[in-house]
Structure 1
Amino acid sequence: MTLSIGFMQAQEYKVAKSSGRLEIREVNHVVVEGYSGNEIVFTSRSGKRDDDERAKGLRSVSANGLEDNTNLGLSVVDKGNVIEVQQLKRMDGPEITIKVPKGVTVSYSHTSPHGDEIEFKNVEGEIEVSTMHNGVQLTNVTGPLTIKTVHGDIEGTLNASVKAPISIVSVHGHVDIALPTTVKASVKLGTVYGEIFVDPEFKMDLERTENNMVKFSSDTVTGKINGGGLDINLSSTHNNVYLRKK
């Protein structure tokens, strides 16, 4: 339960950090963008919060001990090497864009059914995602990446400077990832009940046995692109996996 108490809203909140770990928990509507600055910048995309004349001069607090110290509907706590971010409202909540410097690792976790698709744009640091219901959109990200969702789809593009390991897994949603055709990668593509599709421009050498026979399993394709290199794992249990050229 959240006690919603209105106030004048600041449109931005900044934390002077260019390294460390940003942990975003149960924030329903968020876009994370990489940039070349030295601060983590939180910006509201939803405009001013509803005015509540009765609450002027007061602040918003929640039953689980969070305080809105940003005027954006968020609690942001600096614990040194870790920045913890949570929203106060259980449902709905603010629409937030977070800009992160290149050296910041971003961790996003979400368990409720109330959130939107989580989007990452131009992020050059490590990304970790663990969700139940959210889809994940990746645009021009570098990695390393550890992305897991139960019910959501995962789609995106990785840039030419991609860094391993890359693990992108959905249980019920599809996984659709675009890579530059020049990438050197050792790939593992897996599905139990879906299908696997690969762009023909990827010259994939499938894994072979000692007798030079192509090795297949019932649910996994393993091979090398351009001689092998980065470890890339794309998997969906109940849906399709797509590997396409960028």
Structure 2
Amino acid sequence: MKAIKFTGLVALALTLSTRLMAQESQQLTVPLSDPGKPYKIDVHTISGSIKVSVYDGKDIIIDAQSEHGRKDRKEISNGMRRISSGENLDISASEKSNKVSINNNLPGKMASLTIKIPRGATNINLSTINGGSITADDISGDMEMNNTNGAIKLTNVSGSVVANTTNGNVTVSFKSVEPNAAMAFTTLNGNVDVTFPASLKANIKARSDQGNVYSDFDMVTEKSPAKSTKSAKDGMYRITVEDWVNGKINGGGPEILMKNMNGNIYIRKAK
């Protein structure tokens, strides 16, 4: 496992984590074992945002900044003000055989991670939970994005995407798609808005409980029979109806699932 070089700090040969002072943007540089070759990257944090972009370089560059210190200083309890002695970050990065893992090791500390990656990634996995968004631009490969309380926005991406959040919009625009890959875009509260190349071939399966499904593709649609489920408990009877819209774009292809509860679904054709 390779040591990580910290820009502006003393290089550490044995540890792959560092503590960064709040409100000071610090940078980690992660060399790949085989620069220029395909690689995988996983980024996981509990609290905070993740932003990823591509640049013309060979290393992975991580800028980390605390988002928590300023908020904590405003806390007042029973007339007493909290005096902060400084907030810390604990961001770790490890690399082995072109597999990179980046983690925020202090779940209660909200951190913003801005990451620049070389071209050529085959698998990108980004996840956060509280109070942050996931954004990425010009990335490619098999992408999996998971959020809970925040939006997901991917711009000019290539490959395949699975994007899921609970509270927030899911917005994706593709330069190109993996022709044989199934994809999914879901949220509970928010819009699902995806722009595909005009040449897309796919079977669409879409459902919005409290909204509508829109598309400017010439889609051959068929509304499948509603599926109803009946159940009984403590003398009470419940009937649940699931109503999906199915359609084929350019003759059909891999399934693309799009689902939300409160919001609309937009299936757009790139101009």
**TM-score tier after normalising by the smaller chain length:** 0.7 to 0.9
The CA deviation string for residues 188-246 of structure 1, in whole angstroms up to 9 with x for no partner, is 111122211112xx111124xxxxxx645463211111111232221112221111222
**Rounded Cα–Cα distance in structure 1 between residues aligned with 2:252 and 2:56:** 31
Pair 1:238-2:262 in alignment:
yes
Aligned to 1:206: 221
Over aligned residue pairs, what C-alpha RMSD do you find? 3.2
Q: Which residue identity is paired with 2:123?
A: T
Give the secondary structure class of the aligned counterpart of 2:207: strand
Aligned to 1:40: 60
Q: Which residue identity is paired with 2:131?
A: H
Percent identity of paired positions between Structure 1 and Structure 2: 23
Does the CA contact (< 8 Å) of 2:135 and 2:153 recur in 1? Answer: yes
**Rounded Cα–Cα distance in structure 2 between residues aligned with 1:156 and 1:105:** 17
**Rounded Cα–Cα distance in structure 1 between residues aligned with 2:118 and 2:126:** 13
Aligned ranges 1:132-143 → 2 under 5 Å = 132-143=148-159
Residue 188 of structure 2: which of 154, 171, 186 is its match? 171
Does the CA contact (< 8 Å) of 1:134 and 1:149 recur in 2? Answer: yes
Does the CA contact (< 8 Å) of 1:154 and 1:176 recur in 2? Answer: yes
Aligned to 2:127: 109
| 1:37, distance to aligned residue in structure 2 (A) | 4.6
Aligned ranges 1:11-30 → 2 under 5 Å = 11-16=27-32, 18-26=37-45, 28-30=48-50
| 1:5, distance to aligned residue in structure 2 (A) | 6.2
Pair 1:124-2:140 in alignment:
yes
**Rounded Cα–Cα distance in structure 1 between residues aligned with 2:63 and 2:256:** 33
**Rounded Cα–Cα distance in structure 2 between residues aligned with 1:94 and 1:130:** 16
Does the CA contact (< 8 Å) of 1:187 and 1:224 recur in 2? Answer: yes
| 1:92, distance to aligned residue in structure 2 (A) | 3.1
Q: How many residues get paired?
A: 214
Q: 1:16 to 1:4 in 2, by over 3 A?
A: closer
Aligned to 1:91: 109
Does the CA contact (< 8 Å) of 1:100 and 1:123 recur in 2? Answer: no
Does the CA contact (< 8 Å) of 2:159 and 2:176 recur in 1? Answer: no
Pair 1:78-2:95 in alignment:
yes
Q: Which runs of 5+ in 1 are unaligned?
A: 47-53, 62-67, 69-73, 208-213
Structure with higher strand content: 2
- TM-score normalized by structure 1? 0.73
| 1:97, distance to aligned residue in structure 2 (A) | 2.6
Q: 1:188 to 1:88 in 2, by over 3 A?
A: same
Q: Which residue identity is paired with 1:32?
A: V
Q: 1:181 to 1:9 in 2, by over 3 A?
A: closer
Q: 1:175 to 1:5 in 2, by over 3 A?
A: closer
The CA deviation string for residues 72-91 of structure 1, in whole angstroms up to 9 with x for no partner, is xx210224464221235533
Does the CA contact (< 8 Å) of 2:39 and 2:120 recur in 1? Answer: no
Aligned to 1:188: 205
- TM-score normalized by structure 2? 0.67
Give the secondary structure class of the aligned counterpart of 1:142: strand
Q: 1:133 to 1:94 in 2, by over 3 A?
A: closer
Does the CA contact (< 8 Å) of 2:191 and 2:265 recur in 1? Answer: yes
Give the secondary structure class of the aligned counterpart of 2:29: strand
**Rounded Cα–Cα distance in structure 1 between residues aligned with 2:201 and 2:20:** 53
Q: 1:141 to 1:45 in 2, by over 3 A?
A: farther
**Rounded Cα–Cα distance in structure 2 between residues aligned with 1:98 and 1:38:** 10
Does the CA contact (< 8 Å) of 1:132 and 1:149 recur in 2? Answer: yes
The CA deviation string for residues 153-212 of structure 1, in whole angstroms up to 9 with x for no partner, is 10121123444221111111210111122212211111122211112xx111124xxxxx
Give the secondary structure class of the aligned counterpart of 1:126: strand
